[in-house]
Amino acid sequence: MMTVSPSSRQDMMTDQQPRLRIRGLKKSFGDRTILNGIDLDIPAGKSTVIIGGSGNGKSLLLRCILGLIEPDEGIIEIDGENILETSRSRRETLLKRIGMLFQNAALFDSMSVLDNILFGLRAKGKNRKNRAEQEQEALHLLSQVGLGAHVAPLNPAELSGGMQKRVGLARALAGQPDILFFDEPTTGLDPIMSAVIDGLISDCVTWLGSTALTITHDMTSATRIGDHAAMLYGGKIIWQGPASTLMDSGNPIVDQFTHGRREGPIPTSSMTAGSPAGH
């Protein structure tokens, strides 16, 4: 008979705890309710993808988790700690664990590419290395996203949109954060670079044990990088399942979305499809 020691029982419990646990998350702007009770578990050490129509609140959800927007209601836990109820300093410590690629890359225009990445490194509290070592790491990150050292001194405005996105990705990966958020990492990239970036995201999960949460409209990417998938629609998570079943979920809303059908339960008459309050 298998016996379970108290310590291994503890490990089993820890294994089952999601890295991020979101319950009843709500956010409205005026009378427009965007998030209307999000319940979502993001498993540790796995890659989760979120899909959903434009304007449904995917980026907003990430901004709420990052503390950039204060939700109206709900629980956001990192390893069981509700970040909405902890002290400011504790919250900052917990949020330092997250590396984020914003949808528009959100680079600092007045800083060089190199300084943008160094900023990412320092923001993670990884400033123990000296300047030369930090620069070395920044250049390595650039090479990982397919950019040469020659872009390091340039300003973001001197790069193409896809290159800016890749610099944003390098900044997100700086300091090897154990939680990674990617908001549309492959939008605007050519198919080969998309595959490279997808590979990088998968490597972070497989080799570094990171927990990744990716928003994407790219179904090839979603099935390539995702272990777990969820769809945001009407202010709620209406479906979750293995990413491998995204194209064959059996859910009419998910099916319409993933196959890009005009006909189906999602109204296409306005850009507000799925938003409960409409706008």
Ligand X SMILES: Nc1ncnc2c1ncn2[C@@H]1O[C@H](COP(=O)(O)OP(=O)(O)OP(=O)(O)O)[C@@H](O)[C@H]1O
| Cβ-Cβ contacts under 8 Å for 198 (sequence gap 6 or more) | 185, 186, 221, 224, 225
Does residue 227 sit in helix, strand or coil?
A: coil
Q: How far is the CB of 213 from Mg ion (least distance, A)?
A: 13
Q: DSSP labels for 78-104? A: ETTEETTTS-HHHHHHHHTTEEEE-TT
Pick the binder of ligand X from 54, 110, 127, 160 (CB under 6 A): 54
Window 91-130: residues binding ligand X (CB under 6 A): 103
Coarse DSSP helix, strand, coil percentages of the chain, rounded to the nearest 5 percent: 40, 20, 40
CA quadruple 41, 42, 44, 48: dihedral positive or negative? positive
Pick the binder of Mg ion from 28, 36, 59, 256 (CB under 5 A): 59
Residue 141 binds which entry of ligand X, Mg ion, none, CB below 5-8 Å type-dependent: none
Q: How far is the CB of 130 from Mg ion (least distance, A)?
A: 38
Q: How far is the CB of 109 from Mg ion (least distance, A)?
A: 21
Listed ranges 51-59, 88-96, 163-171, 192-200: which one lies at the site for ligand X (CB under 6 A): 51-59
User: Is 146 an interacting residue with respect to ligand X (CB under 6 A)?
Assistant: no
Decide whether 103 or 256 has the Cβ nearer to Mg ion: 103
Decide whether 70 or 263 has the Cβ nearer to ligand X: 70
| Cβ-Cβ contacts under 8 Å for 274 (sequence gap 6 or more) | 52, 53, 56, 233, 234, 235, 266
C-alpha distances out from residue 72 to 39, 52, 64, 75, Å: 14, 21, 10, 10
**Angle CA 50–52–53, to nearest 5:** 155
Q: Which of 259, 172, 186 is nearest to 216 (CA)?
A: 186
User: Is 57 an interacting residue with respect to ligand X (CB under 6 A)?
Assistant: yes
Residue 175 binds which entry of ligand X, Mg ion, none, CB below 5-8 Å type-dependent: none
Decide whether 146 or 188 has the Cβ nearer to ligand X: 188
Residue 245 binds which entry of Mg ion, ligand X, none, CB below 5-8 Å type-dependent: none
User: Is 34 an interacting residue with respect to ligand X (CB under 6 A)?
Assistant: yes
Q: Which residues bind Mg ion (CB under 5 A)?
A: 59, 103
Q: Which residues bind ligand X (CB under 6 A)?
A: 29, 34, 52, 54-60, 103, 279
